[in-house]
Amino acid sequence: MRKVLALAIATCLFSFGFTVSAAEKTLKLGVIAELTGDMPAVGASCKNAAEMAVKEINAAGGVQVGKQKMKVELVIEDNAGKADQSAAAAQKLITQDEVLAIVGPNASRYAIPASEIAESSETVLITPWSTNPKTTLDTTTNKPKKYVFRACFIDPFQGGVLAKFALEKLKAKNAAVLYDVASDYNKGIAEVFKASYEKQGGKIVAFETYTTNDKDFSAQLTKIKDAKPDVIFLPNYYSEVPLQVQQAKRLGINVPFIGSDSWGSNELLTLGGADLNGYYFSTHYAADNAAPVAKKFIEDYEKTYGAKPDDVAALTYDAFGLLFGSIKSAGKADREAIRAALSTLPSYKGVTGDMKFQADSRDPIKSAVVLQIKDGKFTYFTNANP
């Protein structure tokens, strides 16, 4: 009888998504990060912030679940910068590790396949950095996915911000765009920027593409040079932008470049150096113009890792804050209860600003900032809304 009762209790607990050892009860939470592959700096920031968030909550006794506090166990998976491994990592975390919820992946081309697994498995997934609408949208029904959320704004918002900035702040009436046509993120935001820029009276004089892992952009940049734009938009990742700017300058292109939140890694400064000085990009928060809650996070992160946290780190930390808050609000370690609590969260004051979810959306309402690269640093320039 005791064995039957023990088995029944264990089965019930596993269905809630956490494990119970003889010593203590533990909540298992998963992370999928780009630790290797094409953007390891993104994965490192995500992992660092995740481990810091969990260390802090455990030091405080754990997450409040009903009348008790439960420690958090973190299970981290590397997607190696591949879409199929992102999906496989999500499947492993849900079925083998039986995590309660997942944070990550970050890049949209990896978050989208992982989100499909999370949605079909009815497990909450919060992507810190994926801004493509497809991540949280069920494209077959054109309705929001129930279990997939994000901690960042989306590309239609960001594209509008950048179009307005180029026209009003830079007085650029003619713009060119160079983007990776094989990447959901790059392609999506390029198209949004084009539509918004033209709607506001600007003219796109060149709209050039390349494919992931290309290194020679001279043909596209030559066409852009001949089109004589006032500004060039590069909605591409930190690992690609420096090479594109350097090749443009060798061709004699001497107009401002602007970028999106994919520029936000500190590695951009290392790779690009003085070539990027004076250029602008939109992102999620400004470390040098931070609110008190953000200042504490920045100080703690620097103390722990010896570097300023980038936007991926800040958004990952916020994703865990959202998750911890929803578990507490749910009052039990149950996947469905956490989903319901998260979707009706009234507001959350995070490192990257105040945010809240609407009942019919998994995308938070929040603002953006524009940073300028000055003297090898990311510097706050202005708040931004379309």
Q: What is the pLDDT of residues 45-61, one digit of tens each?
A: 999 999 999 999 999 99
**pLDDT level of residue 383 (50, 70, 90 thresholds):** confident
Say if residue 71's pLDDT is above 90: yes
Mean pLDDT of 352-374: 88
Interstrand relation of 231-234 and 257-259 (parallel, antiparallel or unpaired): parallel
Peptide bond into 105 cis (omega under 30): yes
Mean pLDDT of 359-380: 90
Say if residue 296's pLDDT is above 80: yes
**pLDDT level of residue 356 (50, 70, 90 thresholds):** confident
Say if residue 279's pLDDT is above 50: yes
Of residues 345 and 368, more confidently modeled? 368
Of residues 277 and 1, more confidently modeled? 277
Per-residue pLDDT of 110-143, as tens digits, reads 999 999 999 999 999 999 999 999 999 999 999 9
Lowest mean per-residue pLDDT among 89-93, 216-220, 252-256, 288-292: 288-292
Which pLDDT score, from 0 to 100, does residue 386 have? 65
**pLDDT level of residue 182 (50, 70, 90 thresholds):** very high
Mean pLDDT of 173-202: 96
Domains and CATH numbers, the chain: 27-153+290-366 (3.40.50.2300), 156-283 (3.40.50.2300)
Per-residue pLDDT of 247-262, as tens digits, reads 999 999 999 999 999 9
Share of the chain above pLDDT 70, in %: 93
Which pLDDT score, from 0 to 100, does residue 13 have? 43
Which pLDDT score, from 0 to 100, does residue 384 have? 83
**pLDDT level of residue 42 (50, 70, 90 thresholds):** very high
**pLDDT level of residue 8 (50, 70, 90 thresholds):** very low
Say if residue 305's pLDDT is above 70: yes
**pLDDT level of residue 104 (50, 70, 90 thresholds):** very high
**pLDDT level of residue 365 (50, 70, 90 thresholds):** confident
Interstrand relation of 280-283 and 348-350 (parallel, antiparallel or unpaired): unpaired
Say if residue 76's pLDDT is above 80: yes
Of residues 360 and 23, more confidently modeled? 360
Of residues 1 and 215, more confidently modeled? 215
Say if residue 151's pLDDT is above 50: yes
Say if residue 361's pLDDT is above 90: no
What pTM was estimated for this model as a whole?
0.88
Rounded distance between C-alpha atoms, residue 214 and residue 309, angstroms: 29
Written in H, E and C, the secondary structure of the chain is CHHHHHHHHHHHHHHHCEEECCCCEEEEEEEEECCCCCCHHHHHHHHHHHHHHHHHHHHCCCEEECCEEEEEEEEEEECCCCHHHHHHHHHHHHHCCCCCEEECCCCHHHHHHHHHHHHHCCCEEEECCCCCHHHCEECCCCEECCCEEECCCCHHHHHHHHHHHHHHCCCCCEEEEEEECCCHHHHHHHHHHHHHHHHCCCEEEEEEEECCCCCCCHHHHHHHHHHCCCEEEECCCCCCHHHHHHHHHHCCCCCCEEECHHHCCCHHHHHHHHHHCCCEEEECCCHHHCCHHHHHHHHHHHHHHCCCCCHHHHHHHHHHHHHHHHHHHHCCCCHHHHHHHHHCCCCEEECCEEEECCCCCCCCECCEEEEEEECCEEEEEEEECC
Which pLDDT score, from 0 to 100, does residue 140 have? 92
Which pLDDT score, from 0 to 100, does residue 2 have? 39
Say if residue 191's pLDDT is above 60: yes
